[in-house]
Structure 1
């Protein structure tokens, strides 16, 4: 039977709801760019429940009107301690604009998908308004938009290098990464009477120090090139990125300092990765798992997608060049206990609209649950951004048995008809040549269980490209692994009498990718009998390796030039090769293959020879960067 909730089971969103709890004021008021959904997949709800668990009175203002009289910013009054601001579960610019910088017509995190309910850069807009209305109240910013913009970063939508979002918003404190641990310390210290301006030593936070104000000296401080130096020399921005990436994924990181004009941005080192007990505490808070009643009768698409799903871990050690997951969640896996996961499954089965199907049992990468280093001391010294590229680290215990056991326990629940895995799966972990027989057998068994028991007819995987040089830049495994996985997929389907589809994801215009690479991608995927559907043009997002290559034109770790298609027409030429099978693209593709000197690929794509008078006598020179490619783009997929 579905549990019945009272209005007071949600965090209050109005003065009336605060009064119903007997509050005259809130301790903390949160402002969010997303609708308020009280679910552990929505950041504002997690922050609110964490602070509530610390004993604070927390209220939330979701998607405030920033255009008119600003009454939404005044309606709950002044908080006793601080305001909290987040743009939402996604970077607002990724959420609002396409890779071609076109305004999207729908917003999945807004009731009925309205696209006009949040400004560009809500972190900046909301914070500036709050500082204007309540100049003496501290503002703490967080979430992925603030987290990935904590230092000098390239902004694709403005096409310029921007300083820390702290400089743009004038927030008092920034929490980066997953916020539970810094929030716990901040709450405890404030409750103990410590003034807000004494919190600048909290780990995993960032703040500004004005010129002339003394900064405590740390022996191991890392001083980046200043924002102004990066504006003058793109190679310095590339060099900065290497330091930032290493410290973001380092078990025992150092403090980072960067000068911007008359201020210094200070980024304190992160907390160590959360342990199982800490992760459980976050997921086991008293969420209603439902949108706030104010949205009754309206649809919030992002919620509909995840309401019957379970997230079993955080973090990703894949280190993909275009992905922000490791930059925000870190590369160390923080897994939930079986009991916590099973408790959430039980909650889902009690939902009124649950029909017996879990839409996803996964995480940033579905098959990294409970995986970590055999020897933690080695991990603490490691500075590799990826544990599996260019090869699987010998210290990585990539054991699929805990995940297999968890999935089987979930499937034994009497109300579960089927549990699907919709998150991305790392093929390289499934195909790795394990020396340990038990690990090999577990990976094989997971592969079979995945295909037979946990696919809803279509399994999504992400080879991303076919070119070895581009894949190296992406930090992805060779394409031959996808071909091998495709073979195994069909073998397992045939053995079990199943007819399922494999849906591969690919990216065009990634740094290092040329038209010729895309043409060869079309030929290779055609040979495997794929007509591609899940494709995307590369979108640069802050704090990723691929974005730094896109903006600077250099590989940060080698400072060698890297070719990137930046002009709109060049990106469109790459993108069209995905659709070689569409009649309206065929002539354009033929002409382009002639132009780049690859008429041999025309017959391979279109199964007929090209007339000799279309042959090109000369072949254009390749970009000079070709020999130096070594390497939920914003997607959180692997």
Structure 2
């Protein structure tokens, strides 16, 4: 049964009030891939009466009153992604579709949804606590560069006026906050809950024990201070070694408690066993449903966290780098539930998570001492202490595909091919190729230039080349036609036109023609966004070249699709600017032909000529 979305739903349960109301910028989808679904079901499992207001119409002054006044407070999120990312492309153009809204229609949520919802709630119910969380709140918890304003904004805690901010995966914090509120506690007194941020003044007794980050005023005017602050924030993101952080905003401080401890396997199993409907609310049927369910309805999440920690990715700052997993029994039980679903056709679309083939910590040392600050487990080369094994993940996949009613089990989440290549046992890769690829396997080399990959926090291209050769060799031996689909990114900090040319040549050499290329998107809270704004690498404090000009970014993107006739003029211009005119011509080594090539006359085309004579005649005509 879905949680109440109206007073009629409440009365059908015999409820005349709610304890908590959850506000979300997404449509109501009761599936564990949606953060608000987990938070609401966790609260329900604690015995609280919980209701959902999904995508309230903010033009209606009574939209947030739809379920009445809750006894204890509100939990607010913009949804599964930042509302500005949901609304705007990297070119800052308004998107045409919102996959988290009914029928994929835009306009279901406001820009900066967390702020808008919270401010309205504070006007309506000033005496009730409002707790904000989810990706938008989590990644904007400190003063941060905002790409859409092209400016540094203060913490979303202050911009929204919320009482508490929950960052990261919020189950532990949510339960603790709810229990204390039920006992009569005040949100302003909750200053000891890990995984939360709150506002305090200079006389707060915990301030002297916190790591002090450069203030909002400093990072807004001094890019070096911004880079220093970014490094402090990332170095204290580990649940074992992380310290409390304080960042001054005017006469107040944002105070971040150390990260919450990740859920252990038994706790994760409990979360995923909650009575989710695993579908969108039936009120959306008239609109054609919610498109986001299509990717996750028959997919299973088996892990959390990612020690890959790419610089442009928000996972390390939100979920953390430590890997936590569900038990195999829990995953198998979920698969058995899918088999009973009348919509299920026998295909599990994915068994993954942030990185599908991470099923254990990168090394045992981190369980006691935490993950190494300022270092990566896999890039630019794997740490010598890394422990690689796919045995448990492979055993899980084997068990799933042996279940009656299962035709195929695919892996479509990101796979770290560099981690795979460190495994001395080829069994996993062999069975991946034979059983778990749906024609195309998506992988993310992102670039080929070592200088750019270093700024991305990715392994050098040799790791991908080695993996690619092995994949196609195994595919051939298996008698299958399967292909790698590489994700590529243009205009990342550190990428010059020469680096983009290098990538174009790599694509030509490898006979790869990407249909889509992603421009780097400076989303809140990532290391790469820090580089984009400051032009400084926060881990080396050295300057980084940043392609900001729209025309240069267009040239870099065009080079990655040099073969597209629409990009011809841009590619020629880019090659000239990069000093690579040698790649404009007619030989096999060239990327494109000249813009206005000399054409043979009809008489010349009719004349039979030897290959050598033909070449000499063309050279003569070009000179003339």
Where in structure 2 are the equivalents of 1:176-255 lying within 5 Å? 176-209=167-200, 211=201, 214-217=203-206, 220-255=209-244
Q: Retained in 2: the 8 A contact 1:510–1:538?
A: yes
1:467 aligns with 2:468: no
Once the two structures are TM-superposed, the CA of residue 607 in structure 1 deviates from its matched residue by 6.5
Once the two structures are TM-superposed, the CA of residue 373 in structure 1 deviates from its matched residue by 2.2
Once the two structures are TM-superposed, the CA of residue 612 in structure 1 deviates from its matched residue by 13
1:391 aligns with 2:381: yes
1:529 maps to which residue?
A: 511
What is the aligned counterpart of 1:82 among 73, 80, 83? 73
Cα-to-partner distance string for 1:373-403 (whole Å, 9 max, x where unaligned): 2234664263145322233233333211000
Cα-to-partner distance string for 1:478-508 (whole Å, 9 max, x where unaligned): 1111111111111111101111111101000
1:19 maps to which residue?
A: 11
Cα-to-partner distance string for 1:249-306 (whole Å, 9 max, x where unaligned): 3523111101111211111111222210111111111111111121124221111111
1:622 maps to which residue?
A: none
2:265 maps to which residue?
A: 276
1:261 maps to which residue?
A: 250
SS of match in other structure, 1:296: helix
1:435 maps to which residue?
A: none
Once the two structures are TM-superposed, the CA of residue 198 in structure 1 deviates from its matched residue by 2.4
CA distance in 2, matches of 1:608, 1:285: 57
CA distance in 1, matches of 2:328, 2:595: 64
Once the two structures are TM-superposed, the CA of residue 191 in structure 1 deviates from its matched residue by 3.2
Q: Which runs of 5+ in 2 are unaligned?
A: 599-624
Once the two structures are TM-superposed, the CA of residue 185 in structure 1 deviates from its matched residue by 1.5
1:368 maps to which residue?
A: 358
Q: Retained in 2: the 8 A contact 1:144–1:328?
A: yes
- Flag the structure with larger Rg: 2
Cα-to-partner distance string for 1:89-111 (whole Å, 9 max, x where unaligned): 01111111101000000000001
1:287 aligns with 2:276: yes
2:30 maps to which residue?
A: 38
1:159 aligns with 2:150: yes
Once the two structures are TM-superposed, the CA of residue 337 in structure 1 deviates from its matched residue by 0.3
CA distance in 1, matches of 2:206, 2:295: 48
CA distance in 1, matches of 2:226, 2:413: 33
Question: How does the TM-score come out when normalised to structure 1?
Answer: 0.90
Q: Retained in 2: the 8 A contact 1:371–1:398?
A: no
1:52 maps to which residue?
A: 44
What is the aligned counterpart of 1:137 among 128, 153, 156? 128
CA distance in 1, matches of 2:591, 2:225: 49
What is the aligned counterpart of 2:349 among 342, 354, 359? 359
Question: How does the TM-score come out when normalised to structure 2?
Answer: 0.92
Once the two structures are TM-superposed, the CA of residue 613 in structure 1 deviates from its matched residue by 12
1:332 aligns with 2:322: yes
SS of match in other structure, 1:569: helix
Return 37-46 or 288-297, whichever deviates more.
288-297
CA distance in 2, matches of 1:447, 1:525: 24
SS of match in other structure, 2:543: coil
CA distance in 1, matches of 2:384, 2:351: 27
CA distance in 2, matches of 1:139, 1:314: 27
SS of match in other structure, 2:467: helix
Closer/same/farther in 2, CA of residues 414 and 237 from structure 1, 3 Å limit: same
1:426 aligns with 2:408: no
Closer/same/farther in 2, CA of residues 610 and 133 from structure 1, 3 Å limit: closer
Closer/same/farther in 2, CA of residues 131 and 218 from structure 1, 3 Å limit: closer
Cα-to-partner distance string for 1:557-585 (whole Å, 9 max, x where unaligned): 22211111111111111111121111232
SS of match in other structure, 1:564: coil
2:583 maps to which residue?
A: 601
What is the aligned counterpart of 1:107 among 82, 92, 98? 98
What is the aligned counterpart of 1:403 among 388, 393, 401? 393
CA distance in 2, matches of 1:459, 1:375: 32
Q: Retained in 1: the 8 A contact 2:583–2:592?
A: no
CA distance in 1, matches of 2:182, 2:131: 16
Structure with higher RCO (Cα < 8 A, 6+ apart): 1
Closer/same/farther in 2, CA of residues 428 and 220 from structure 1, 3 Å limit: farther
1:440 aligns with 2:424: yes
1:146 aligns with 2:130: no
Residue correspondences, number: 595
Closer/same/farther in 2, CA of residues 574 and 135 from structure 1, 3 Å limit: same
